[in-house]
Amino acid sequence: MRIRDFMSTNVVAVDKKTTLHDARKIMKAHKIRRLPVLKKNNLVGLITEHMLLEASPSPATALSIHELHYLLAKMTVEDIMVKNPYTVSPDMPAEEALQLGQEMGYGGFPVVEEGRLVGIVTESDVVRLMTRVLGVREKGKRIDIKVSKEFGNMHGILKTLDEHKTVLLSMMTLPPEQDDDWLVVLRLKSDDAEPIAKALKSSGFNVTYVG
């Protein structure tokens, strides 16, 4: 799955001359935490809710309230934005974007194609993607299995599901932390997973959870 498959395309962006006051209002109105900054439709920066908070006056400031209002009214997003922010391509695989966000400590990226802003991808989009991937929106049952690294395990699991005419909503594998066994998590479109779990156990699989 590529970024273009789950990114937000209705991007709310602002001009670099937008005041900080107006940027706050826009974020609040659209319930968003980051705003791409444009100059003649070209992406030139990014501003976040955290940056706006940091730009707010401290109670310890020596300026009078009138001076503060005057200074803040003149400040624009250009004054505090991240210039030339890191962007991603809409064709980047989803897992690469997730890894990149973790490595760089970013919660979102503008998506640019041929120099044009076409979307934005954030942690909220990733959560929605995982909801789809794991099939959690559909009611079903879950079976956890500990498996070794031997080849043929997946074939045996899927064969059992086929024999029980069970629809697989999702399959997730987790690498081992301590032992050598992998954890395979199955989400099944079924009202009763016990017969399937029993069949898996009969085939030699170590079923650790059914529910």
If you search the block for the tokens 């069970």, which residue do you land on? Answer: 166
What's at 138, amino acid-wise?
Answer: E
For residue range 171-207, list pLDDT tens digits in order.
888 887 776 788 999 999 999 999 999 999 999 999 9
Question: Do the first three CATH levels of 3-131 and 137-210 match, i.e. the same topology?
Answer: no
* Class of the CATH-defined domain 3-131: alpha beta
Give the confidence band of 135 by pLDDT, cuts at 50, 70, 90: confident
* Class of the CATH-defined domain 137-210: alpha beta
pLDDT of residue 65: 56
* Mean model confidence pLDDT for the chain: 87
Residue ranges per domain, the chain?
3-131, 137-210
pLDDT of residue 187: 93
pLDDT of residue 60: 43
Answer whether 118's CB lies under 8 Å from 5's CB.
no
User: pLDDT exceeding 70 applies to what percent of the chain?
Assistant: 91
Answer whether 62's CB lies under 8 Å from 141's CB.
no
Q: Which residues contact 18 (CB under 8 A, 6 or more apart)?
A: 26, 37, 76, 77
| Mean pLDDT within 16-40 | 93
For residue range 29-86, list pLDDT tens digits in order.
999 999 999 998 889 999 999 998 887 655 445 555 566 566 667 789 999 999 999 9
Tell me whether strands 34-39 and 14-15 are parallel, antiparallel or unpaired: parallel
If you search the block for the tokens 């954030």, which residue do you land on? Answer: 122
Please provide the distance, in angstroms rounded to a whole number, between the alpha carbons at the two ends of the chain. Answer: 29
| Mean pLDDT within 109-126 | 90
pLDDT at 107 over 90: no
pLDDT of residue 69: 60
